[in-house]
Amino acid sequence: MIVAIDGPAGVGKSTIAKKIAKKCNFFYINSGNFYRAVAFKHLAYNGDPKSEAEIVETARSCNFLIIEGKLFLDGKMVEHLLRNKEIDMASSKFSSIVEVRNIVNEALRSSAKSLDIIMEGRDITTVVFPQADLKFYFDASVDIRAARRFQQNESDLSLQDLKEEIIKRDYNDRNKKFGALKRANDAVYIDTSYLTIDEVCDKVVQNILGLKQSKVSGES
């Protein structure tokens, strides 16, 4: 079974997808980490952040592997190196390059082969797995997303700076030529603004159980 979740930055996709993966015994894939890994490698090798050709070359050279839910890049576990302001902005920019998206999408699809997976990102329900068994679109206001990021305390930015960064990333994510963030018609829409993590998880799990149930009764 493929469960796909999309939504803007800071809406709680990864926290919730991880929890559901544990609960339902699914394989969790955070697609944003693939774009972050491309940005990390490009910046680490002092690649030109303005040269699309060089960025595509970097993306092509990346060897992605997921072991126990963690992303390995070229054989090294890199997840702890992927979250800082430079990578936030570079991954947002690089992910608008169509060829980079094609390379990442291919890697995402091959990581998911023949598994029960839950994958989250921006274009999972629309481009990567339009045929997913279940699709969700998570949403929340900019103020709430900025406040959540601020409380996570992972960045030294002020609340106002975090808010401005989220607005910029939303703009980039929604205005990509290919793979832009949008709500699929058949995705279940969940506004997470005033829900706890457990409340959102329950809604998703109810849908998964409902689908499993209907598959079982359809088979019998």
The residues binding ligand DC (CB under 6 A) are: 9, 31-32, 35-36, 91-92, 95, 121-124, 169, 173, 179
- DSSP helix/strand/coil, 101: helix
Closest approach of ligand DC to the CB of residue 94, in Å: 8
Report how far apart the first and last C-alpha atoms of the chain are (Å, whole number).
18
- Closer residue to ligand DC, CB minimum distance, 9 or 204: 9
- Closer residue to ligand DC, CB minimum distance, 177 or 220: 177
- Closer residue to ligand DC, CB minimum distance, 86 or 214: 86
| Dihedral pair phi/psi, residue 170, rounded to 5° | -60, -45
- Closer residue to ligand DC, CB minimum distance, 32 or 47: 32
* Paired sense of beta strands 70-73 and 76-77, if any: antiparallel
CA 132 to CA 50: how far, in whole Å? 34
Question: What string of DSSP letters covers 45-58?
Answer: TT--TT-HHHHHHH
Closest approach of ligand DC to the CB of residue 38, in Å: 9
Quick one: DSSP state of residue 126?
I
Closest approach of ligand DC to the CB of residue 71, in Å: 11
Closest approach of ligand DC to the CB of residue 129, in Å: 10
